[in-house]
A = this chain, B = another copy of it.
Amino acid sequence: MCELLGMSANVPTDICFSFTGFLRRGGDTGPHRDGWGIAFYEQGGYREFRDPFPSVDSAIARLICDYPIKSNIVISHIRQANVGQVRLANTHPFTREMWGQPWCYAHNGQLEEWQALPLSFYRPVGSTDSEHAFCWLMGELRKCYPDPPEDRSGLWQRLHELCEELRRLGVFNLMLADGEYLYTFCSTKLAHITRRAPFGEANLADAEMVVNFAEHTTPNDVVSVLATEPLTDNEEWVRMLPGELLVWRDGVIVARFVAGQDESVV
């Protein structure tokens, strides 16, 4: 299995603190030695850093910890390989362009019979179940919506249905983003926390590091962080339910879909 980290914020925010704890799970406090990646949305653009080596040993990962890239949406993944060799083409996150938007995807879990998912517009570069499922998911969305819909609620409902289909094939914890929205889907484990004024201190669970967010924020900042397991040990993280899809924008939940219901419940 792997680990996921995500962020949605209403101001460009660096994720150095959370990432520092998270990457310790890549071969130090966790067994996930088979590569890592992180994607940032900035100023309408997108960039990612990926490395097929353990994050604790990675010069690129150290750079990301020390070089505060400010972003409204971040997705990161550290890998413990199951399907697909340890190599760059199998390293998350994966990206495809749809409607002139860079869509970014990372998956925790393992699927059965994923080879039968039919592909259309998008095809995998590597050999993982994760990337195949991503290409199927994006292809199905694009078949329904050749152009971006004015009203997004139908798109999100379709996304929830597709996530539920994938959950029936195994474990499918998901982070997906299009530059404006962050989508998180829980199959077995995903937790989130929203930080806003008054900001306090947080202690990393995976490293000896404390940050006082009050020193780094303004009173209007809203920053939500998500991870497969809580990253701090002195804050209350909310665990998502199996089959739950959350749609985030500017640090807050703007839509919520739960298992067995077709409509948004926010």
Contacts and interface: CB of A to CB of B under 8 A. Distances in A.
Interface string A74-96: 00000000000001111100011
Nearest to A37: B47
Given A46-B125, A97-B123, A100-B125, 16 more contacts: A42-B88, A43-B52, A44-B87, A44-B89, A45-B52, A45-B91, A45-B125, A47-B49, A47-B88, A59-B63, A59-B66, A60-B63, A60-B67, A96-B97, A101-B125, A121-B121
**Protomer copies:** 2
A50 B47 CA distance: 7
Interface in A5-63: 42-50, 52, 59-60, 63
A122 interface: yes
A124 B126 CA distance: 24
B87 A100 contact: no
Q: A interface, by DSSP: helix, strand, loop or mixed?
A: mixed
Nearest to A101: B125
Contacts of A63: 59-60, 63
Contact of A99 (B42, B50, B102, B123): B123
A58 to B, nearest CB: 10
Interface residues of A, number: 33
B124 A100 contact: yes
Contacts of A95: 95
Given A63-B60, A63-B63, A89 B123 contact: no
Contacts of A48: 47
Contacts of A49: 47, 49
A196 B210 CA distance: 54
B45 A88 contact: yes
A99 B121 CA distance: 9
A67 B53 CA distance: 13
B45 A90 contact: yes
A178 B145 CA distance: 28
3 nearest CB pairs, A to B? A45-B88, A45-B89, A100-B123
Contacts of A44: 87-89, 125-126
Contacts of A124: 100
A45 B87 contact: yes
18 contacts: A43-B87, A44-B87, A44-B89, A45-B52, A46-B89, A47-B49, A47-B88, A49-B49, A59-B63, A59-B67, A60-B63, A63-B63, A95-B95, A100-B123, A100-B124, A100-B125, A101-B125, A121-B121
